[in-house]
Amino acid sequence: MGFKFNRGCWVESHEDGLLSCKAGDGNIEGSARTSPPSTVQRIDLARRLFRSFEEALRKDRIVVELLHRIDQDIDRTARAMAELGIDEACALCDRTSPCGSCCSRGLEKKYDSVLLLINLLLGRDLPDTPTREDSCHFLGHRGCRLRIRHMLCIDYLCPGLETRLGTAGLIRIQSVAGMEIHTAFLLYEAVKKVIRE
Ligand code: SF4
Ligand code: SF4
C-alpha cells in the first residue's frame, strides 16, 4: 500500500502481519481478522503482553543482548541525525509548516503490539491519547515518544533533506539507520519467539 506523509510525499509500504499469540490471559490478536485493532487496542494488548511476559523476556539471553544492542544503535542514529542537522530541519518543519512534520496522523498504524511491547521493555510509556490530533499518535511536544520505531520512521528522509545531506551525509545516516533497523528486526523476532513459546 502507499502511505502519504503530511508533506505530500508518498512511500510504498506493506502492512505488517498481525501477531498471532496468546497474551497470557487468553486474548488473541489473530492473523485472520478482517478489521485491524485500533491503536488503543494495540497499546492495551502490549501492556497485557508486558505484564505476562516481562519476566520471561528479561531472562532470555538473546532478547537481553538485543535490547542492549538496540539501545546503542538508537543512540548512534540519534547522534548522527543531530550532527547532520536532520533533527533541526524536522523540528523547523514541525514549528513552521502548516502541515507540520512528516509524523503524520495514521503512521501509528504501522506499530503492532510487539513493537509497542518492546518500547515498554525499553522503559518507554505508551500514551493513551495523542498529544496532537493532526499528527501520529506517538508524536509529543518534543518529538517522537517511542524508543524503538518502525523502519519507515527510522529511515525516511524527504527529497529536500536528501539533497541537503549530499552523498557523504546520506551514506552516514543510511549506514547507522541500517544497523538500527537490522537490530530492531532481530529483536522483534526474538521477542515474538519467546511469546509464542
Ligand atoms: S523529513 Fe523533510 S519534510 Fe519531513 S519533517 Fe523532516 S525536513 Fe520536514
Ligand atoms: S512513531 Fe514517532 S517517528 Fe514515527 S511517525 Fe510517529 S511520532 Fe513520528
Q: Which residue has the cell 539533497?
A: 163
If you measure from the C-alpha of residue 157 to the centroid of ligand 1, how many angstroms do you get, rounded to a whole number? Answer: 7
Q: How many domains does the chain have?
A: 1
39-86 pLDDT, tens digit each: 999 999 999 999 999 999 999 999 999 999 999 999 999 999 999 999
pLDDT in tens, 91-116: 998 888 887 889 988 999 999 999 99
- Calculate how far, in angstroms, residue 127's C-alpha sits from the geometric centre of ligand 2: 13
Identify the residue whose cell numbers are 485493532: 37
Segment 121-173, tens digit of pLDDT: 999 999 999 998 889 999 998 899 999 999 999 999 999 999 999 999 999 99
Rounded Cα gap, residues 155 and 157, in angstroms: 6
Residues in the chain: 197
- Return the ligand 1 atom nearest residue 100 CA: 5
Residues with CB under 6 A from ligand 1: 7, 89-90, 93, 101-102, 157-158, 160-161
Domain enclosing residue 84, as ranges: 2-196
Cα–Cα nearest to 5, from 153, 113, 177: 153
